[in-house]
Amino acid sequence: MRILITGGAGFIGSHLCDRYLAEGHEVIAMDNLSTGSEANIAHLAGHPRFHFIKHDVTHYIYVAGPLDAVLHLASLPSPVDYLNFPIQTLKVGALGTHNTLGLAMAKGARYLLASTSEVYGDPLVHPQREDYWGNVNPVGPRGVYDESKRFAEALTMAYHRYHGVETHIVRIFNTYGPRMRLDDGRVVPNFVRQALKGEPLTVYDDGSRTRSFCYVDDLVEGIVRLLASDFHEPVNLGNPREMTVLEFARKVLEVTGSASPITFIHPTDERTRDDPKVRCPDITRARELLGWEPRVSLEEGLARTAADFRLRLGLA
């Protein structure tokens, strides 16, 4: 296949580039490098089947030649990023999805939208199944991300139903691993970086909110299977092992062998407004349709992530 991956220089996008190249495909990574980084794809420079196009997907997209698949990963998925860049977040979810769907239709390519567990908002159904419609505050600070992805899902289904595009929608739950941006403000980079540097781990409020963390290789495996499937409704991909943020902080300390203290912070900005109290994927659909489930334990995944962070922080 000849595959376009938007957000290809980002955390998940770059791992997808590696995976499809390893399978013998040709990969075009597109990224405006606003939150993605050339460092994530530097090892692919000069690869005969890899190309990079620096472009902002909110503008018309031109790609020469045929395409068999378009994977739309470009996004600002960290709460800190979408609070800082709310309008760009809405544009990449709305205009970026429109442009990439139009491209897929013109090329007769399969399409995959990277959606999110945030479409469930602060969920009133737990764990979250795909048939739950969610509890999103459209005018809250997280609304810019959540609503852009909800719009993106609606647009993707419209292109499928109206234009017959072979579309797929993956709802990605918290994912972590090597190449996460060290300063993206999310809980995994924050805690791992803090633990390695011997700084206090910043648990917001009382640390009782829950999340479920999926290692990036597991997610990539699920995405590859979903793209190859003939299923068009959304599919959750995530690790159903749920824990509180405080439990997660203790796990990071244990895996890294860090003596950092844990400190409780009460953010006064909008960072934790509408912060989902619980989050855990029901992965029955992925299990049944794709034969998929996560394989990498949190302990193993965190150890690999910490090794990558040590190198990038100059601590190795």
- Candidates 129, 204, 243, 289: give the one binding ligand UDP (CB under 6 A): 204
| Alpha carbons 258 and 278: distance in angstroms, whole number | 27
CB of 308 to ligand UDP, least distance (A): 17
| Alpha carbons 272 and 277: distance in angstroms, whole number | 10
| Secondary element (H or E) of residue 219 | helix 216-228
Non-local (6+) Cβ contacts of 219 within 8 A are: 12, 172, 175, 237, 238
Stretch that binds ligand UDP, among 27-35, 184-192, 226-234, 282-290 (CB under 6 A): 184-192
CB of 142 to ligand UDP, least distance (A): 8
Question: Under the criterion CB under 6 A, does residue 203 sit at the interface with ligand UDP?
Answer: yes
- Candidates 245, 252, 280, 286: give the one binding ligand UDP (CB under 6 A): 245
- What the block records as the tokens of 3 is 């595959």
Q: Which of 82, 111, 120, 145 is catalytic?
A: 145
Footprint of ligand UDP on residues 117-156 (CB under 6 A)? none
| Catalytic annotation present for 145 | yes
Helix axes 187-197, 298-312, angle to 10 degrees: 60
Non-local (6+) Cβ contacts of 191 within 8 A are: 201, 202, 248, 249, 252
Q: For the window 256-275, what string marks contact with ligand UDP as x by the rule CB under 6 A? A: ----------------x--x
Whether the CA torsion 225, 227, 231, 237 is positive or negative: it is positive
CB of 144 to ligand UDP, least distance (A): 13
Q: What is the DSSP letter of 131?
A: T
Footprint of ligand UDP on residues 273-292 (CB under 6 A)? 275
**Which amino acids are annotated catalytic?**
145
Q: Give the footprint of ligand UDP on this chain (CB under 6 A).
A: 79, 174, 186-187, 190, 202-204, 209, 211, 245, 272, 275
